[in-house]
């Protein structure tokens, strides 16, 4: 069974990892995932770049009471997020009825979650953990 070998900060660091074919690591300098495909992990030819790894973050968000038809915004830090990146939100399972959320990268490393109250009355969402994943 393949194993995750950790995060390497450079090619040199990756080549010090001990593993067997199928094992993999993240390269934080490139933002990519690499898989060990050869038998000698300290040779670059034994590694294959598999592509970008998803950037993600989570935060406990405590929105204020939102008036009927109103909105409120809070943020989640997602290191590596950049303007123009697509955002996929992971809302809590118990989102109050009548609320709808959207996410956008509002600044480097920052996802803004906008909560819209679609009802005619105020709704005070409970504090909950939200997740955000970036698609490059």
Q: What is the pLDDT of residues 85-101, one digit of tens each?
A: 889 999 998 899 999 99
- Could you please state the CATH topology (level 3) that the domain comprising 55-135 is classified under: Deoxyuridine 5'-Triphosphate Nucleotidohydrolase; Chain A (2.70.40)
Residue 12: which H helix or E strand, with range? helix 11-14
pLDDT of 116: 98
Domain ranges for the chain, please list them: 4-52, 55-135
Residue 40 confidence (pLDDT): 93
Cβ neighbours for 91, distance < 8 A, ≥ 6 positions apart: 101, 128, 130
Strand segments, DSSP code E, in the chain are: 4-8, 24-27, 32-36, 47-52, 55-61, 71-77, 86-90, 99-107, 110-117, 128-135
Model-wide pTM > 0.75: no
In this prediction, residue 79 carries a pLDDT of: 85
> Rounded CA gap, 58 and 128, in Å?
10
């Amino acid at each position: 069974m393949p194993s995750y070998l950790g995060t390497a900060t450079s090619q040199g660091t990756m080549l010090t990892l001990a593993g067997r074919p199928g094992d993999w690591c993240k390269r934080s300098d490139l933002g990519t995932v690499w898989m060990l495909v050869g038998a000698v992990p300290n040779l670059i030819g034994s590694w294959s770049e598999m592509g970008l790894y998803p950037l993600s973050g989570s935060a406990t968000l405590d929105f204020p009471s939102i008036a009927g038809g109103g909105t409120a915004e809070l943020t989640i830090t997602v290191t590596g997020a950049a303007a123009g990146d697509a955002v996929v939100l992971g809302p809590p399972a118990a989102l109050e009825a009548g609320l709808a959320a959207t996410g956008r990268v509002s600044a480097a490393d920052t996802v803004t979650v906008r909560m819209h109250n679609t009802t005619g009355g105020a709704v005070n969402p409970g504090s909950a953990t939200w997740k955000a994943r970036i698609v490059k």
